[in-house]
Amino acid sequence: MKLIGKGLFALALCFAVIILVRTFMFSPEQTEVNLSPGIPLDSEVLADHLADAVRIATVSYENTDSIHYHNFALFRQYLQETYPLVFQQLDVETVNTHSLLLMWKGSNSDLPPMVLLAHQDVVPAGNIGWTHPPFDGVVDDTFIWGRGTLDNKSCLIATMEAVSHLLQSGYQPAQTIYLAMGHDEEIGGPDGAVKIVEVLQERGIRPGLVLDEGMAVISNVMPGLDRPVALIGIAEKGYVTVHLTASSDGGHSSMPPENSAIGNLSGALVALKDHPPAAGLNGVAKMMFDSVGPNMSLLYRMIFANTWLFEPLLVKQLEKQPSTNALIRSTVALTTISGGTKENVLPTTASASVNFRIKPGDTVESVIDYVNETLRCTGAEIANVNHEFASDPSKISPVDGDAYQNLQRAIAKIFPDAVIAPGLVIGGTDSRHFEAVSDHIYRFAPLNLDSDDLKRIHGVNERISKNDFANMVRFYVELMGE
Ligand SMILES: [Zn+2]
């Protein structure tokens, strides 16, 4: 008995030593950052330019008949008038009438080009709840207010400002730079980004870096981390909606049978909700925590340094928050349901739709298999799969090449406090269409966001501080100006 006690004690000691050694080895890599002298920019002028852009309501609607295309023409005219040098010195073409593709020829044609994406369109905004009307472009002492100030006119205008700034200083980039500005990102990009990619493909252009929105510099959202984190999206989740149906004989509700359409469908939905596809701390989520973990407080550092031991616990914890749950699994969302016509009649059919966001590693196919497996014995079945809007998760872009390093360098210069880490984009961006022409797709907008700001995107009171906007311009200058 004593021997067993001693043995257990030795084992526990071993575990403790392993955990501690791994914790202290799990510390941030030291990187030297030489800050270049700040680039002089007039943040007031920049703010006015963004505010002007906000006032042109380039709103996308699912029903394209509702889109005011005239505003996109006005928007283009605005860019032309505000950035004459850019329009004179870059090759400018329109793609599918409203999307824009600008090419800034580099001095070294051997280098793979860089593509900077930004979309011209914004989502609709009602007037309710806004401190300043969404399309008034109000600038106060601190902020620029309105739809598009975060998503995504800030990126678009900051890119134009940066190119303009570099042109004025007589700069020519080594690699060719494309600015790709789609006009329908918010409705999936079929007429914009998709067509721009076709143009690049026809010309045999293989970008070494494609940079789009998707992630940002985020503060106060990760427990145990007191620094902001600059997340570079190296992949985005896939998407599929599955429509389910269940049927039964129907009849009078006074003698209900054991199985009914609504009962069977409900059982199926509960089964899907309670048994989602498996979660795991692997892939992009693991890469993110490997980068962020060493910078966290001791307890979190210990946990993330020892995922060999703590993974099951950690997964349980991450599953509790919708935002972290979405990182570690393909998610199941019950989105529509219908069935029945009258309160005392049993319906013969009932139907529902379930939306899945697919994490890298799973596929549309594997999700459908999972649904079929889960529906067995429930009496419900798949009626159809919406393949038109289905997409597999993106490929995972590398974190060790020139493109990623160049991004890291520019981020470190402009956001010196931030921990830089790869991340997974939960929604969809235009960049997924660029997989046809590049393996180096990164999703990062140089925006400073806290949890409050995250709600403003597609929400009310979208705004950006003048200071943050000027930093966006500095970021693009840094990225293109090497
Ligand atoms: Zn966007």
- CA of 151 relative to ligand 1 center, distance in Å: 5
Catalytic residue set: 121, 185
Q: Which residues, 6 or more positions from 398, have their beta carbon under 8 angstroms from its beta carbon?
A: 234, 404, 439, 440
- CA of 429 relative to ligand 1 center, distance in Å: 7
- CA of 62 relative to ligand 1 center, distance in Å: 15
- CA of 389 relative to ligand 1 center, distance in Å: 18
Q: Which residues, 6 or more positions from 49, have their beta carbon under 8 angstroms from its beta carbon?
A: 82, 157, 161
Torsion of CA 52, 75, 407, 287, to 10 degrees: 100
**Which 8-state DSSP code applies to residue 418?**
P
Question: Tell me, what's the pLDDT at 34?
Answer: 45
Tell me: cis bond preceding 152? Omega within 30 of 0 counts.
yes
- CA of 457 relative to ligand 1 center, distance in Å: 9
User: Which mean pLDDT values do the consecutive 10-residue runs of the chain (482 residues) have?
Assistant: 68 74 71 53 96 98 95 98 98 97 97 98 95 98 98 98 95 97 95 98 98 96 91 97 95 90 97 96 94 94 93 93 93 97 95 97 97 96 94 96 96 96 93 96 97 93 97 96 78
SS3 content of the chain, % helix, strand, coil (to 5): 40, 20, 40
Q: Which residues, 6 or more positions from 204, have their beta carbon under 8 angstroms from its beta carbon?
A: none
In order, the DSSP letters of 193-223 are HHHHHHHHHHTT---SEEEESS--EEES-ST
Query: Of all helices (H) and strands (E), which one includes residue 407?
Result: helix 402-414
Q: How far apart are the first and last CA of the chain?
A: 68
Distance of alpha carbon 443 from alpha carbon 234, whole angstroms: 7
Q: Are residues 180 and 196 in contact, defined by beta-carbon separation less than 8 angstroms?
A: yes
- CA of 406 relative to ligand 1 center, distance in Å: 23
- CA of 180 relative to ligand 1 center, distance in Å: 13
Q: Are residues 459 and 229 in contact, defined by beta-carbon separation less than 8 angstroms?
A: no
Model pTM?
0.90
**What are the distances in angstroms from CA 283 to CA 107, 229, 286, 426?**
38, 19, 5, 14
Question: Tell me, what's the pLDDT at 40?
Answer: 82
- CA of 397 relative to ligand 1 center, distance in Å: 20
Q: Token pair of 253, please?
A: 């509700």
Give the count of beta carbons closer than 10 Å to the beta carbon of residue 165: 21
AA identity, residue 193: A
Question: Tell me, what's the pLDDT at 38?
Answer: 57
- CA of 459 relative to ligand 1 center, distance in Å: 12
Phi/psi at 311 (5° precision): -55, -50
- CA of 244 relative to ligand 1 center, distance in Å: 31
- CA of 77 relative to ligand 1 center, distance in Å: 21
Phi/psi at 212 (5° precision): -135, 175
Query: Of all helices (H) and strands (E), which one includes residue 364?
Result: helix 364-375
- CA of 213 relative to ligand 1 center, distance in Å: 6
Is residue 126 helix, strand or coil?
coil
Phi/psi at 233 (5° precision): -70, 115
**What are the distances in angstroms from CA 221 to CA 3, 245, 449, 452?**
48, 39, 10, 10
- CA of 123 relative to ligand 1 center, distance in Å: 9
Domains in the chain (CATH in brackets) are 43-214+393-481 (3.40.630.10), 238-274+330-391 (3.30.70.360), 279-328 (no CATH)
